[in-house]
Amino acid sequence: MKKENTEENNLMEKIVSLCKRRGFIFSGSEIYGGFAGTYDWGHFGLALKNNIKQNWWKKFVDSRRDMYGIDAAILMRQEVWQATGHVANFADPLDGKAFNTMLKTQVGAKKDEIAVSYLRPETAQGMFVNFKNTVDAFHPKLPFGMAQIGKAFRNEIAPRDFLFRQREFEQMEIEYFIRAEDWEKYFDYWKDEMLVWMEEVGIDMSKVHELEVVKEDRAHYSSRTIDFEFDYPFGKKELFGLAYRTDFDLKTHKLEYIDEEEGGKMVPHVIEPTFGVDRAFLALILSSYKEDEKDGEVRSYLKFKPSIAPVICAVSPLLKNKPELVEYANTKVFVPLKSEFGRVIWDDNGNIGKRYRRQDEIGTPWCIVVDFDTLTNNTVTVRDRDTGEQERVKVSELISYIKDKLD
Ligand code: GAP
């Protein structure tokens, strides 16, 4: 069906085209005609995605004392998925029948060793199957959590809407183990924590809505789910989820916990805050995309927080054919900034106006230009992405100038 040429469709087209043009995201297997539901991450997309993941890990793992990270194998024995009900229930309707959306593969070379396996459809089970290992290794007291960031795969019947519904995507998940009687308290606690993170990372909170998912629409393991929905250009749809998984998974895997405080064995209950990395990325880009008019031209820019932007600053010699400018820009500005901040790029392509427009679309908060005055007074211009205003800053103070702004 032909899409209507609405402003919202235009916005999505603009985002997809910006992501390709500026090296964020490319269609998977593109030179062979693409591969539905898969995307390849270019340099800047990867940088932004890594920043999202690092920010999440810092908040939910590194800054807490009750969280244990794990990076479990993607391939697991099929018994895991039989036990959890995924083999029987992880399905979408297709022509009146249930179509299981787990991606099946086989492992092993010799005929009698070949076993069916599945590419995990959620990272969650990698945590549950390591529950005992984690308890034995770290002896955590309840409540405590496990956290994982990693790929998940679903053979979606109709992958669509760019990063929104893919067949290969990434999740950031927490399984938080609690006593059954505390579930409401921790459900509310994690709801708030999720909202705080969304705001911190830069998602436009006026576009985020909570949906209480009714029983018929909940996953088979959940007795309460809230979806956080986002106003995408293609409609209000799920961004992240929060589920009360009860003791379903641990019971299913016949796992228990020795409760030293209360005495005896018990099975903890689980609150699960789950975040799709790709949807976080999409919501963040949609929240950050702005257009305004500069010098009679429409310019588009990505208004990322500097701490999350793929590039913190770009360094340019005013003219690339003037060796004295290039030498100064490289040795006195670029190299020190690069070794301090890492996410610093050299940009001498095209005229200054073109460089600014390119950096605006990448979302680079500051462009630093070395010009002829620099050679005499050791100052550079620092141009602000959002206002377009330029300031002269002493080269000797550049690092602390950027640091102050980052803080
Ligand atoms: N462990 C629970 C779980 O996997 P889910 O709601 O099915 O719950 C969690 O998935 C999150 O993963 C979603 O909120 C969404 O952000 C992301 N997600 C799910 N399917 C996706 C897909 N096909 N493409 C991109 N992201 C997806």
Q: Is the pLDDT of residue 358 over 80?
A: yes
Give the residue extent of every domain in the chain.
2-69+133-286, 311-406
Q: Is 154 in the pocket of ligand 1 (CB under 6 A)?
A: yes
Residues 6+ apart with CB under 8 A from 10: none
Which protein residue has the closest C-alpha to ligand 1 atom 17? 276
pLDDT tens digits, 128-181: 999 999 999 999 999 999 999 999 999 999 999 999 999 999 999 999 999 999
Identify the CATH number of the domain defined by range 311-406.
3.40.50.800
Query: Would you place residue 23 in the very low, low, confident or very high pLDDT band (cuts 50, 70, 90)?
Result: very high
pLDDT greater at residue 50 or residue 3: 50
For the full predicted model, state whether its pTM sits above 0.85: yes
Report pLDDT for 305: 97
Report pLDDT for 5: 61
Query: What distances in angstroms separate CA 134 from CA 38, 89, 142, 378, one per listed residue?
Result: 33, 28, 13, 55
Q: Is the pLDDT of residue 351 over 50?
A: yes
d(CA 145, CA 68): 6
Q: Is the pLDDT of residue 335 over 90?
A: yes
Report pLDDT for 3: 52
Q: Is 168 in the pocket of ligand 1 (CB under 6 A)?
A: no
How many angstroms is it from 92 CA to the middle of ligand 1?
A: 14
Q: Is the pLDDT of residue 406 over 50?
A: yes
Query: What distances in angstroms separate CA 248 from CA 88, 151, 301, one per listed residue?
Result: 15, 23, 46
User: What atom of ligand 1 comes closest to residue 173's alpha carbon?
Assistant: 1
pLDDT tens digits, 272-289: 999 999 999 999 999 999
Share of the chain above pLDDT 70, in %: 99
Report pLDDT for 340: 98
* CATH T-level fold of 2-69+133-286: BirA Bifunctional Protein; domain 2 (3.30.930)
Query: Which of these, 135, 387, 134, 171, lies nearest to 279 by C-alpha position?
Result: 171
Report pLDDT for 1: 46
How many angstroms is it from 252 CA to the middle of ligand 1?
A: 21
Instruction: With beta carbons less than 8 A apart as the criterion, state whether 208 and 218 touch.
Output: no
Q: Is 273 in the pocket of ligand 1 (CB under 6 A)?
A: no
Across 326-376, the runs of DSSP E, i.e. the strands, are 344-346, 366-370
Q: Quote the mean pLDDT of the chain.
A: 96
d(CA 91, CA 96): 12
Q: Is 279 in the pocket of ligand 1 (CB under 6 A)?
A: yes
Among 169, 190, 284, which is best to mutate for testing ligand 1, by the most ligand atoms less than 8 A from CB?
Answer: 169
